Amino acid sequence: MNCARIERVHTRNLEIARENDDPDWWRPEWIPFAERYEGHEGLLIDAGHPAHPLLKYTEADYPRLTPLRWRG
């Protein structure tokens, strides 16, 4: 994702959370950095947490911690 796309997705998700009166659906400190082409699914950085963990989000799930597996 480029910077403009990150800003659009972040803004859109914050608006959806406000419209649904559900602040846990998307928080201001969550910064998306990768997403699937279709649908609400991807990875984000939790900039509000001191460790800046990576979280995975999907249509059916709130963001959650994602263990990374490196392929070598």
Give tens-digit pLDDT for 40-58: 888 999 999 998 888 888 8
Question: 40 near 17, Cβ under 8 Å?
Answer: no
Question: 48 near 29, Cβ under 8 Å?
Answer: yes
Check pLDDT > 70 for residue 66.
no
* Neighbouring residues of 58: CB distance < 8 A, sequence distance ≥ 6: 40, 41
Q: What is the pLDDT of residue 70?
A: 52
Q: DSSP string spanning 21-64?
A: T-TTTS-TTEEEEEE-SSSS-EEEEETTSTT--EEEEETTEEEE
